[in-house]
Amino acid sequence: MAFKKVCSLDEVPEGDALRVELFDEPIALFNLDGEILATQDRCTHGDWSLADGFLENGVIECTLHWGKFCVRTGKVKAPPACAALTVYPVKVEGNDVYVDFE
């Protein structure tokens, strides 16, 4: 495990998402009722940011073709996406959010 600080907790409001970069890789952070989750930011269907999508009930909807993914497991919830997202371990210490990218 090699957690790296990516942002402050208050940068990811409840029900919202934030795109950050970690080792030049875009990561999407999601705040589900105070729980922070992290996935790859790039949609597996195309080159599109999922942090810009619509988050509802733990599912992120890509705004390019409306594919959907569970942000907790990365599993596809709606086509045309067909490959799961990579998910990353997250820890929060105080107001700092860390992601394990390895």
Count of chain residues binding ligand FES (CB under 6 A): 10
Q: Which is nearer to ligand FES, 13 or 79 (CB)?
A: 79
Binding mask 32-61 for ligand FES (x = CB under 6 A): -----------x-xx-x-------------
Q: Which is nearer to ligand FES, 59 or 64 (CB)?
A: 64
Taken as a whole, the chain contains a residue count of 102
In angstroms, how far is the first alpha carbon of the chain from the final one?
7
**Residue 81 interacting with ligand FES (CB under 6 A):** yes
Q: Which residues bind ligand FES (CB under 6 A)?
A: 43, 45-46, 48, 62, 64-65, 67, 80-81
